[in-house]
Structure 1
Amino acid sequence: MVSSDTPPVEASRARPHRLRLSIGAAVVLGLVVLSAAVGLGIMRGQAAPSESVPLTGAAASPAPRGDLYVHVLGAVERPGLYVLDVDARLVDAVAAAGGTTDDADLGAVNLARILADGEQIVVPVVGAVGDPGAPSVRAADDLIDLNTADQAALETLPRIGPALAERIIAWREENGRFQSVDDLLAVPGIGEKLLEAIREGVRV
């Protein structure tokens, strides 16, 4: 009778062992699945920003361009006030005014000159160049405007001859408008003493 009861005892001891092995395998499998899910979530989180990078305002649209106002007078078809692009040149102002008349002296103006806001442009007629009272070379206060005066007008200043007048105009064409009378010191041949001699007769 003893020998017949032994197999059932061994079988009952084996079943809990297999049960423990099954629970352990399930735990390991669950951990593997959980690790895979966490890793996938991290990868998605890292990739998300590269898929939706917003454009800044500066990148989305170009900076707005400014405008400048110029008053065109003289030998043009339609004298008046015109609004031009900020990088406009004198030829653009003349074109906006309908072009020049038949008696315009284009040799007295620099059509390639860059314009400035608030500038008054006077296209002279033939024979008007060199007149010290002409509005194209003198301002309302009778001072010579360094940014609009031609060579003949500059030569009316003390100690300014043809060579210095040409240098002033050349500097203006290469560097843009004079921002102050003191900018004349940047013109070759003009020093402190010469500047003081002409300071009272010029403006910008």
Structure 2
Amino acid sequence: MKFFTKREQIVILLLVIIVVFIIFFNLYNKNVTLNKKTNLEEITLDDLEEIDEGKPKDENEAEEIIMVHISGQVYKPGLVQLKNGSRVIDAVNSAGGLKSEADLDRINLAKKLADEEKIYIPKIGEDNDIIDEVEISDGGSSSNSSGNKSNKININTCTKEELMNLPGIGEVLATRIVEYRESRKFNSIEDIMNVSGIGNKKFENIKDFITVK
């Protein structure tokens, strides 16, 4: 039997090592390629959907939002955010619903709303003369010019919502006025300046719209 020489054995061993290395290298490249392909598929199927969701929608697809101010006989008067095309009933629901004193015969719940619109829900038996610069939701306006002194609210008996319709009077000041008159009566319109936060400038803005009679 012929045996390989030592030199031949070394050559054969080197060849075997080379073949094994080539096989291993090819397997490694296949695994890397497979992993890349798998990751690409995962991104295509899953991640790209999340990326698309994060992209801003086309202006035509974006839902238009309007802001409406509602006051009067609702439980949560103030600003409400609605979808474009909403109606008075939607604003009422966003404001907590109608109070039992609301005069349904003087409002149109089906009226469509526009951005920056003001809605006033009157009280049953409420005199139109005390509604100053507010929009009756049946589409008619009860607003008056700022120089008209015939339509005034009695600061001793009016509601907080009516006070909030005065120029520059928000919910905080309206609450202070109500709290003040609970312990004492306004004997003159100038007495309203005794309420914290109402100075000469603010009084000048509201004096033509208030009375104590």
TM-score range, shorter chain: 0.3 to 0.5
State TM-score, norm by structure 2: 0.38
Q: Is the radius of gyration larger for structure 1 or structure 2?
A: 1
State TM-score, norm by structure 1: 0.40
